[in-house]
Structure 1
Amino acid sequence: MTDTPTDDVKPSFRSDVTVELVKHSAADSDVLWAARVSTAGEQSLEELTKDPERSKGLINYLMRDRHGSPFEHNSMTFFISAPIFVFREFMRHRVGWCIAGDTEITLESEAGNLRRRSIAELYKLWRSGVEDRLPHSAGGVTWHARAGKWMAQVRRGETNHYLGLYENREAAESAVAEFREQHPSTRIRKLESVRRNHVRCYDEETLLAQRAKIVDVIESGVKPLIKITTATGKTLRCTIDHALFTPEGWCKAGELVVGDSVLVAGAAPRPSQALVPPSLRRGIGVWTSMRRETLIKEIDTCHLCGQDFPREQLALDHVVPVASDLLQALDEKNLAPACEPCHAVKSAGEQALAPRGGEIAKAVPDRIVAIETAGEEMTYDLSVEGPWHNFLADDFVVHNSYNEESGRYRELQPVFYVPGEDRKLVQQGRPGKYEFVPGTEAQQEIMERSMQESYIQAYERYQEMLAAGVAREIARSVLPVGLFSSMYATCNARSLMHFLGLRTQHEQAKVPSFPQREIEMVGEKMEAEWAKLMPLTYAAFNANGRVAP
């Protein structure tokens, strides 16, 4: 049963983060086996029974010369508890589950109209918003594959300005920002907002098409890709860890072989019931919501799962779906209480939106005819709302890869972040060259007092709205980013090394990094767990300047 808001819940405060390794398949022998399979074939399996210590020279060679793929055949899943603002940084470095920038995402309007945009374009529009007041100059930061560095360049008017090559993205972005600050412009670019866009997704039980709201669009870094081609000519370029939907369930792209089938956008004959127009559906929804107070008791039972809930956590559900019998849509006898999770799943499956008159949109199997490597380039990913966390990428049904605690389906607990006394409080310098120094006792005192008072007031307003029956997804808007949340993060050794190179400071790092301390705390704990699993790989990572291969 979902928690109910109570008046005696008091906020608590923490200055630490927690990281737990919940499952893994990762060892140094995985690297050796993957490296030798190209020359030894089936005999490379013998490496799994040998002591990897004797082959630490090979691991060091692979790391030094940046042969990255042998470090990808492993997996680690961490459970992380940290402030929300840490996860906003973490999302930029999500590992594995990513697709190429030119991958087209299928968007769907409320009326069922479809259009496609590349995920790189979605990322740009998501970050820029409706009106972008940055100086109107083209260019920016791109990955220079031949040099193995980040290139900064800006075009203003008819002139190209090359700003140089940089070891890390932050330094290149800083150079571009500094140039634009020194060369201001009054021109404004008008860009389309995509913040309210929905993607086409699929009910994973019925395979019928649905809609899901985009939660975030993420740039995930330069990663190696594979290209999957199907019998109908569809192609998808993604990382080996990206999850694709198959007739047998979810499967990583790297585990698929020629002859396997994946689910892609398709159609099936329409059932006999007619679609309910969106405007009529909204009107029925208003009429139904007006009867909540009279038809739902203060404590009532969900007719779908049989559990008891307070009224504010229940909705009125049409027992006979509106799409099945429109005559019963306004019949109070056809209404029964349903908890929000059950109601969301049932409602989403009641009306499939169809692309053509005689058919309804449905995911269908398509056989794989080719799998090949597709180089390295910048990758992206989407995060979409449930209950089905999937979307269409170049017509392939793929999985949303970010799994964080949701404030839509449970009451968020009042645990907030307050930095400890060892956290440096004062920032000096300019962007890209910040330096943090310890604060005074007075600064520490005002920081702790201000944070705690703000947290307490915000949580009281959150509880007040819940008690008044305001939906959790609305009430959570008042909560600050210092609230603790939880998530699962899955990665392989190569992507974890990329994350650690950018989000931890280390004396052996060839390229210095200046991460926010809180995400560095997460990185340090992940690093400690990984070092125990793959000690030879970890040692080679440090010996070669902590640069991901």
Structure 2
Amino acid sequence: MTDTPADDLKPSFRSDVTVELVKHSAADSDVLWAARVSTAGEQSLEELTKDPERSKGLINYLMRDRHGSPFEHNSMTFFISAPIFVFREFMRHRVGWCVAGDTEITLESEAGRPRRRTIAELHELWHLGAEDRLPHSAGGVTWNSRAGRWAAQVRHEESDHYLGLYENREAAESAVAEFREEHPGTRLRKLESVRRNHVRCYDEETLLAQRGRIVDVIESGVKPLIKITTASGKALRCTVDHAVFTPEGWVKAGELTVGDAVMVAGTAPEPSKAPIPPSLHRGIGVWTSAQRQRLIKDVDTCHLCDQEFSRDQLALDHVVPVAGDLARALDESNLAPACEPCHTARSGGEQARAERGGHSAKAVADPVVAIEEAGEEMTYDLSVEGPWHNFLANDIVVHNSYNEESGRYRELQPVFYVPGEDRKLVQQGRPGKYEFVPGSEAQHEIMERSMQESYIQAYERYQEMLAAGVAREVARAVLPVGLFSSMYATCNARSLMHFLGLRTQHELAKVPSFPQREIEMVGERMEAEWMKLMPLTHAAFNANGRVAP
């Protein structure tokens, strides 16, 4: 889409949302043959030619007794245009594409160093802002190169406590843990933040590894899983709708069969590079050492192992190796502290790697050897910033299901949300018992005027930065969450029912819900489209208290 000249962009205001069903494969008969295949086998195909009305009792039974999987053999894709704040809530309902909590996600540092965390751990650290009451330690466990042992020390009540030297790191950490148990602190210590973490993802054309920023980590509810096992021993537990990368492109996990190949983490050889001449290597080393006092703090963190050390235990390390990019050898921004064990291990291999040629991280094909059911449990998903919306789950390349318009690649249009006259403005009651009542004419007037003035001013600043050459991804930061955005969302009937149960208020609901009106508007329009496609399933959903099976 061509950007419109700045002079022609005039802010406009909307009070509604847009929901369009762009494609689907969904009918009540899908539920019937999926339910009967376990008892009728291939004869269940006959149900496709029969009137589903005669079997509405079966659909009602499946809904009532919460047999959920027959409601997953269908698909609907919606185009949604709504304010950004609606999408922040929508992302909590990841329409079925999700993985088990113990799935390990490959994170990647700016230096290209990978490490792994389970997606459940990422969700906790991302959302809960968890804190503990252990005292913060300025030292902790460090390597004492002179003694050749691990030193343990703790700072408690403004004093440093030296706990001794230990043969291995585990023993030193145990000593620190015991001290903290015996001397509990009152000062809150924030657990590790993952808000700035990146995942390893892949360019889908070159298959080479890239880095993608995590936008959100989502808990998607309890769902049935399948387990996919590859010839190299990699295994992934995910929902049948989760998209998996294959040599032929993206395929739903439930559509894979034994013998198909999926793309997994691998390597490809790089061309050999000439080694750095010894004299140049020594010169770079002398210059780098001269920067230690200025660039390393008294107590600093090793960028490779994330542990804290005193300055005399740290060296300056080239984040991008000298052998990889000689032009950055004298670049201060390419230097970071590294502890002696990490620095020695890394430096020792770099020159040899340059001599023999290295390997690039690349996605490679791996045949599937087994597919089996894997029970039901809480599931999770990631949202990864583009242009590559994928990540590594247990070393298998998978996609995320949420693709929203990006302000990085196009100029965002000035369409903003202003609630209509029927929007209730005043909130009353206590948490969990909120009630919204209509606002006065004066309240509507000040709300409309304040929003419009704020939107116009923010968009003018956005345009001003773009005109000055500021990157779109930076300039968009001034835009409010009332800006309209667009996305495609794909779901099946079961995941849609989970969404509707929480995000619509309905007199037939067995469990009351109190959604924000704007996301309820999206839910109502999605439900209207779904009701046309699967009227018997929709009726059974209402008849059984609007509780998803």
So what's the TM-score if we normalise by structure 2? 0.75
Secondary structure at the counterpart of residue 364 of structure 1? strand
1:451 matched to 2:435? The reply is no
Measured at CA, do residues 261 and 275 of structure 1 come closer, stay the same or move farther in structure 2, by a change above 3 Å?
farther
Displacement of 1:4 in angstroms is 5.3
Measured at CA, do residues 436 and 134 of structure 1 come closer, stay the same or move farther in structure 2, by a change above 3 Å?
farther
For 1:59, the aligned partner's letter is I
Partner of 1:466 in structure 2?
466
Displacement of 1:431 in angstroms is 1.7
Pairwise mapping of residues 115-194 of structure 1 onto structure 2 (< 5 A)?
115-129=115-129, 132=130, 187-194=187-194
Alpha-carbon contact 1:381-1:400 (below 8 Å) kept:
yes
For 2:39, the aligned partner's letter is T
Partner of 1:437 in structure 2?
437
Alpha-carbon contact 1:12-1:415 (below 8 Å) kept:
yes
Partner of 1:59 in structure 2?
59
Measured against aligned partners, the alpha-carbon deviations of 1:128-148 in whole angstroms (never above 9, x if no partner) come to 45xx56999xxxxxxxxxxxx
Partner of 1:107 in structure 2?
107
Partner of 1:531 in structure 2?
531
Write the distance in 1 (CA, Å) between the matches of 2:46 and 2:274: 61
Write the distance in 1 (CA, Å) between the matches of 2:191 and 2:518: 33
Measured against aligned partners, the alpha-carbon deviations of 1:25-45 in whole angstroms (never above 9, x if no partner) come to 000000001000001111111
Partner of 2:90 in structure 1?
90
Measured against aligned partners, the alpha-carbon deviations of 1:110-144 in whole angstroms (never above 9, x if no partner) come to 21111001111111212245xx56999xxxxxxxx
Alpha-carbon contact 2:203-2:210 (below 8 Å) kept:
yes
Measured at CA, do residues 111 and 46 of structure 1 come closer, stay the same or move farther in structure 2, by a change above 3 Å?
same
For 2:121, the aligned partner's letter is E
Partner of 2:32 in structure 1?
32
Displacement of 1:324 in angstroms is 11
Measured at CA, do residues 69 and 475 of structure 1 come closer, stay the same or move farther in structure 2, by a change above 3 Å?
same
Write the distance in 2 (CA, Å) between the matches of 1:445 and 1:198: 44
Secondary structure at the counterpart of residue 6 of structure 2? coil
Measured against aligned partners, the alpha-carbon deviations of 1:42-70 in whole angstroms (never above 9, x if no partner) come to 11111101111110010000000000000
Write the distance in 1 (CA, Å) between the matches of 2:445 and 2:390: 46
For 1:91, the aligned partner's letter is M
For 2:546, the aligned partner's letter is R
Partner of 2:306 in structure 1?
none
Measured at CA, do residues 134 and 53 of structure 1 come closer, stay the same or move farther in structure 2, by a change above 3 Å?
farther
Pairwise mapping of residues 301-340 of structure 1 onto structure 2 (< 5 A)?
none
Alpha-carbon contact 1:7-1:463 (below 8 Å) kept:
no
For 2:217, the aligned partner's letter is V
Alpha-carbon contact 2:272-2:357 (below 8 Å) kept:
no
Partner of 2:47 in structure 1?
47
1:411 matched to 2:418? The reply is no
Partner of 1:360 in structure 2?
360
Measured at CA, do residues 325 and 449 of structure 1 come closer, stay the same or move farther in structure 2, by a change above 3 Å?
closer
| Greater Cα offset, 198-207 or 484-493 | 198-207
Measured at CA, do residues 274 and 68 of structure 1 come closer, stay the same or move farther in structure 2, by a change above 3 Å?
farther
Displacement of 1:536 in angstroms is 0.5
1:521 matched to 2:526? The reply is no
Partner of 2:540 in structure 1?
540
Aligned CA RMSD, in angstroms, stands at 2.6
Secondary structure at the counterpart of residue 38 of structure 1? helix
Alpha-carbon contact 2:401-2:490 (below 8 Å) kept:
no
Measured against aligned partners, the alpha-carbon deviations of 1:476-524 in whole angstroms (never above 9, x if no partner) come to 0010000000000100000000000000011111111000000000000
Partner of 1:283 in structure 2?
none
Write the distance in 2 (CA, Å) between the matches of 1:93 and 1:107: 24
Pairwise mapping of residues 467-506 of structure 1 onto structure 2 (< 5 A)?
467-506=467-506
For 2:102, the aligned partner's letter is D
Partner of 2:256 in structure 1?
256
Write the distance in 1 (CA, Å) between the matches of 2:410 and 2:368: 40
Measured against aligned partners, the alpha-carbon deviations of 1:358-398 in whole angstroms (never above 9, x if no partner) come to 32211111111111111221111111122221110000000
Pairwise mapping of residues 226-265 of structure 1 onto structure 2 (< 5 A)?
226-265=226-265
Alpha-carbon contact 2:200-2:211 (below 8 Å) kept:
yes
Measured at CA, do residues 274 and 116 of structure 1 come closer, stay the same or move farther in structure 2, by a change above 3 Å?
farther
Measured at CA, do residues 274 and 114 of structure 1 come closer, stay the same or move farther in structure 2, by a change above 3 Å?
farther
Displacement of 1:214 in angstroms is 1.3
Q: Which runs of 5+ in 2 are unaligned?
A: 135-184, 277-283, 285-322, 328-352
Alpha-carbon contact 1:264-1:366 (below 8 Å) kept:
yes
Secondary structure at the counterpart of residue 80 of structure 1? strand
Write the distance in 2 (CA, Å) between the matches of 1:358 and 1:82: 48
So what's the TM-score if we normalise by structure 1? 0.75
Measured at CA, do residues 325 and 265 of structure 1 come closer, stay the same or move farther in structure 2, by a change above 3 Å?
closer
Displacement of 1:261 in angstroms is 1.1
Partner of 2:207 in structure 1?
207
Secondary structure at the counterpart of residue 105 of structure 1? strand
Write the distance in 2 (CA, Å) between the matches of 1:186 and 1:92: 34
Alpha-carbon contact 1:5-1:411 (below 8 Å) kept:
no
Alpha-carbon contact 1:5-1:463 (below 8 Å) kept:
no
Alpha-carbon contact 1:5-1:466 (below 8 Å) kept:
no
Partner of 1:220 in structure 2?
220
For 1:473, the aligned partner's letter is E
Write the distance in 2 (CA, Å) between the matches of 1:187 and 1:19: 49
For 1:54, the aligned partner's letter is R
Measured against aligned partners, the alpha-carbon deviations of 1:318-340 in whole angstroms (never above 9, x if no partner) come to xxxxx99989xxxxxxxxxxxxx
Displacement of 1:415 in angstroms is 0.5
Alpha-carbon contact 2:272-2:358 (below 8 Å) kept:
no
| Greater Cα offset, 22-31 or 430-439 | 430-439
For 2:203, the aligned partner's letter is D
| Greater Cα offset, 439-448 or 194-203 | 194-203
For 2:501, the aligned partner's letter is G
Write the distance in 1 (CA, Å) between the matches of 2:488 and 2:275: 38
Alpha-carbon contact 2:132-2:190 (below 8 Å) kept:
no
Secondary structure at the counterpart of residue 93 of structure 1? coil
Write the distance in 2 (CA, Å) between the matches of 1:541 and 1:273: 64
Displacement of 1:357 in angstroms is 6.3
Write the distance in 2 (CA, Å) between the matches of 1:222 and 1:435: 29
